[in-house]
Chains A and B, each alone.
Chain A
Amino acid sequence: NAGVTQTPKFQVLKTGQSMTLQCAQDMNHEYMSWYRQDPGMGLRLIHYSVGAGITDQGEVPNGYNVSRSTTEDFPLRLLSAAPSQTSVYFCASSYSLPTQGLVTDTQYFGPGTRLTVL
């Protein structure tokens, strides 16, 4: 298993450009999420998904869109990049505990994408 993969690893954008950060997992996990990490700020949740076709907003969703057409993929779209979106972005996934009907809190993270917006 490759686990959680993210592309690209690095990206530089100009203000106003749009782009999509890719995230894929091959563990058949239902739950996927996107975080951003800024120095001294820990990880902040942008958007998450509990399954194909279902997404919701996290703590800092403005300026980002997501969709979940398959279990494996969860792309994050920046609609019009701004310097405030310069950050490291992590995708994560986790699975359900069928006997309890809950998603385990242990999340598996991808390697991250370092984004710079000029």
Chain B
Amino acid sequence: EDKVVQSPLSLVVHEGDTVTLNCSYEVTNFRSLLWYKQEKKAPTFLFMLTSSGIEKKSGRLSSILDKKELFSILNITATQTGDSAIYLCAVGHRGSTLGRLYFGRGTQLTVWP
């Protein structure tokens, strides 16, 4: 059975801290791994990763994929209160034109001032 597991499920930090969120997967015919940020409304797209070892960066956020060990991490440096959100990991399925995504349960990040 395909599975996407995120850890930790929740995390509380103070502004300025650096956090690492984890996503491991067991999905047959893997194609891509995506990270989304969700703040009390619709998920918004952060990154899509398809190749191992290539870091994607956007400001203070970065992510990398390890296809051999079947996991990805999302790093946030110098956290701010605006980073408080649920971070969702999703995996895309190869061999199909359907674009189907398998989501993890998410990590609830809370950043205190």
Could you tell me which A residues sit within 8 Å of B by CB distance?
Answer: 31, 33, 35, 40-45, 48, 50, 56, 58, 90, 94, 96, 101-112
Give the A-B contact count at a CB cut-off of 8 A.
Answer: 64
Are B92 and A41 touching (Cβ within 8 A)?
Answer: no
Contacts of B100 in A (CB 8 A): 33, 45, 48, 58
A34 CB, nearest partner CB in chain B, Å: 12
Contacts of B90 in A (CB 8 A): 43, 105
Q: In the complex the two chains form, what is the Cα distance from A31 to B99 in whole Å?
A: 8
B interface residue count range (under 10 / 10 to 19 / 20 to 34 / 35 or more): 20 to 34
Contacts of A104 in B (CB 8 A): 99
In the complex, the chain A residue whose C-beta lies closest to that of B33 is A105
Are B42 and A107 touching (Cβ within 8 A)?
Answer: no
Contacts of A42 in B (CB 8 A): 4, 6, 88, 103-106
B interface majority secondary structure? strand
- B61 on interface, CB distance cutoff 8 Å: no
Q: In the complex the two chains form, what is the Cα distance from A65 to B81 in whole Å?
A: 40
Q: In the complex the two chains form, what is the Cα distance from A15 to B31 in whole Å?
A: 40
Known: A45-B100, A94-B99. A106 touches B105 (CB 8 A): no
In the complex, the chain A residue whose C-beta lies closest to that of B9 is A40
Are A31 and B98 touching (Cβ within 8 A)?
Answer: yes
CB-defined A-B contacts under 8 Å, sample of 26: A33-B100, A40-B106, A42-B4, A42-B88, A42-B104, A42-B105, A43-B88, A43-B101, A44-B103, A48-B100, A50-B97, A50-B98, A90-B42, A90-B43, A101-B97, A102-B99, A104-B99, A105-B32, A105-B99, A105-B101, A106-B34, A106-B45, A107-B45, A108-B45, A111-B42, A112-B41
Q: In the complex the two chains form, what is the Cα distance from A103 to B35 in whole Å?
A: 17
